[in-house]
Amino acid sequence: DQQVKQNSPSLSVQEGRISILNCDYTNSMFDYFLWYKKYPAEGPTFLISISSIKDKNEDGRFTVFLNKSAKHLSLHIVPSQPGDSAVYFCAAKKRDDMRFGAGTRLTVKP
C-alpha cells in the first residue's frame, strides 16, 4: 500500500526559477514529514522537515508547506540551482514508522 505518493516522477526547471515538488499521503496518523535529496551513488540525505502542528518551515532556499486537510505537502526551492539536480523523496512518519514516496527527479537547467 502506497501511503505516500509523489505523482510526478520528474520535473525540469530553469536555473533561478522556483522548483515545486509535491507529495500526497493517505494516513492521517502521520505527524512528521521530511524531504530527502539523493544524488547518484549516494544514500539519501536529509533536507528539511515539518511537524504536523505547523504549516510551513523554511530553511534558506528551501521551504516545506503542509496542508493537513488535503494531506498534501510540497517543497519549494527558490532560486533553483544546477546543484539541486537530484532525486527528491518525501517521507511521512508516525511513531517509529517512516514511509517514503517514489521520488521526483529534479533537473535544473543552466
Partner 1 sequence: KAGVTQTPRYLIKTRGQQVTLSCSPISGHRSVSWYQQTPGQGLQFLFEYFSETQRNKGNFPGRFSGRQFSNSRSEMNVSTLELGDSALYLCASSLVGFTNTEAFFGQGTRLTVV
Q: How far, in Å, CA of 81 to CA of 98, rounded? A: 29
Q: Residue 90 or 108: which CB sits closer to partner 1?
A: 90
80: amino acid identity, one letter: S
Single out the residue of 64, 86, 101, 106 in contact with partner 1 (rule: CB under 8 A).
Answer: 101
Q: Decide if residue 22 touches partner 1 (CB under 8 A).
A: no
State the minimum distance, in angstroms, from the CB of residue 16 to partner 1: 28
Single out the residue of 32, 57, 61, 62 in contact with partner 1 (rule: CB under 8 A).
Answer: 32
**24: nearest Cα among 54, 55, 1, 3:** 3
DSSP SS3 for 82: helix
User: 44: which 3 cell numbers?
Assistant: 539519501
Q: Decide if residue 24 touches partner 1 (CB under 8 A).
A: no
